[in-house]
Amino acid sequence: MERERSTLELNESFSKRFVFKDGFGVELNRGAIHRSHRPASVVSSAGASSGVGKETAVALAARGARVVVACRDAGKAEKAVREIKLRSRSLAVVGMELDLASLRSVRRFCENFLRREERLDVLINNAAMPGVLDWTEDGFSMCLGVNHLGHFLLTNLLLGRLKECAPSRVVTLTCSSYKYQKLDLHDLNYNLLPFFTYCRSKLANVYFSHELGRLARGKGVTSFAVHPGLVRSEWTRHYSLLFRAAMRVLAWMLSASCEAGAQTVVYCAVSDEAARLGGGYFVDCRPATLRPFARDAGVAKKLWEASERLVQPP
């Protein structure tokens, strides 16, 4: 009980400098990763070199966490680590190579992480591949492989360490676009219309987070699914120059900063209030209601079982 309180205790020296507010004025100055003789480790998966992932890493490092920045591109990871250290005033930030489009890379990352790091208190599944019609090296659609299966395998390989370090949390980023599609469990590798492919992968994130929460109930691991909102990130880099220019104009008109988008992620990762709520789907630093079909526990269970079969070594 004492350890649980220390895990959620606010580090006052950092909270005075880093008080974040979302568009509704929610102050994130209540929770924090604890400091102890064995500092907490936070894995922010591929994508932490930019966008919401990087802003999340900055906020958590500033609160005293040891942050492991997992990134596909070693050069970008090194640059991101330097920036995160500078902005957070923390030296406890390291980079590790992880390509979620490769199950082999995911397994290698987990082996290295478990060998190097004693603790894992928060796992943040942050990477997001937009709707592109491409394939992973394992033969999965890029959206399914990166957005769902890569995170699914990553979480399962690290779940034992999360349980050892309980109370711990898993925060998986999804998107409100999940509501525009339904999963076809007989065609998970659907890869015809880019936007629909993306929507299905985001719905898979919701089901994954729900089933993880069910399976980990009573074992000290709390699972959150987070929609960070429409933010000005670098997702358009996968598209043409003309499309990027058009989206840049719209983004500045309609979207929020990556720092604002990271706030709900940080809230679910560290706040005592989120812990008391026991996980679930969060938007704007508060619980939100999913569409009825996205709350189907039977589909979530079947997707989990199908995902287990898909990520098994040949």
Residue 240: its pLDDT value, please?
Answer: 52
In the chain, DSSP assigns E strands to: 41-44, 66-71, 93-97, 122-125, 168-173, 221-227, 280-283, 286-287
Please tell me the distance from the alpha carbon of residue 80 to that of residue 69, in angstroms, as a whole number: 8
Contact 197, 179 (CB under 8 A): no
Q: State the DSSP code for 33.
A: P
Over the stretch 115-133, which tens digit does the pLDDT of each residue have? 999 999 999 999 888 768 8
| Lowest mean pLDDT segment, chosen from 23-27, 230-234, 257-261 | 23-27
The residues that bridge with 286 in the sheet, in sequence order, are 283
3-state secondary structure of 40: coil
Please tell me the distance from the alpha carbon of residue 82 to that of residue 93, in angstroms, as a whole number: 8
Please tell me the distance from the alpha carbon of residue 224 to that of residue 239, in angstroms, as a whole number: 30
Task: Give the DSSP per-residue string, 251-306.
Answer: HHHH-B-HHHHHHHHHHHHH-HHHHHHTSEEEETTEE-PPPGGGG-HHHHHHHHHH
Gap between the terminal Cα atoms of the chain = 43
Count of CB atoms situated within 10 Å of the CB of 14: 23
Helix 51-62 and helix 258-270, axial crossing angle in degrees, nearest 10 = 50
Higher pLDDT residue, 30 or 216?
216
Please tell me the distance from the alpha carbon of residue 25 to that of residue 112, in angstroms, as a whole number: 40
What radius of gyration, in Å, describes the C-alpha atoms of the chain? Answer: 18
pLDDT-derived band at 259, boundaries 50, 70, 90: confident
Residues acting as catalytic residues: 198
pLDDT-derived band at 20, boundaries 50, 70, 90: very low
Contact 261, 285 (CB under 8 A): no
Please tell me the distance from the alpha carbon of residue 204 to that of residue 227, in angstroms, as a whole number: 13
3-state secondary structure of 35: coil
Flag whether pLDDT at 66 surpasses 80: yes
Predicted TM-score of the model (pTM): 0.84
Over the stretch 234-245, which tens digit does the pLDDT of each residue have? 555 554 565 455
Over the stretch 86-126, which tens digit does the pLDDT of each residue have? 999 999 999 999 999 999 999 999 999 999 999 999 999 99
Please tell me the distance from the alpha carbon of residue 50 to that of residue 30, in angstroms, as a whole number: 26
pLDDT-derived band at 250, boundaries 50, 70, 90: low
Average pLDDT over residues 59-72: 93
3-state secondary structure of 38: coil
Residue 129: its pLDDT value, please?
Answer: 82
Over the stretch 189-231, which tens digit does the pLDDT of each residue have? 999 998 899 999 999 999 999 999 999 999 999 999 999 987 7
Please tell me the distance from the alpha carbon of residue 212 to that of residue 221, in angstroms, as a whole number: 9
Average pLDDT over residues 140-167: 96
Q: What percent of the chain has pLDDT over 70?
A: 77
Residue 132: its pLDDT value, please?
Answer: 81
Over the stretch 265-286, which tens digit does the pLDDT of each residue have? 999 999 999 999 999 999 999 9
| Residue type, position 232, single letter | R
Query: In the chain, helix, strand, coil percent, each to 5?
Result: 50, 15, 35
Task: Give the DSSP per-residue string, 180-205.
Answer: G----TT-TT--SSHHHHHHHHHHHH
Please tell me the distance from the alpha carbon of residue 77 to that of residue 67, in angstroms, as a whole number: 12
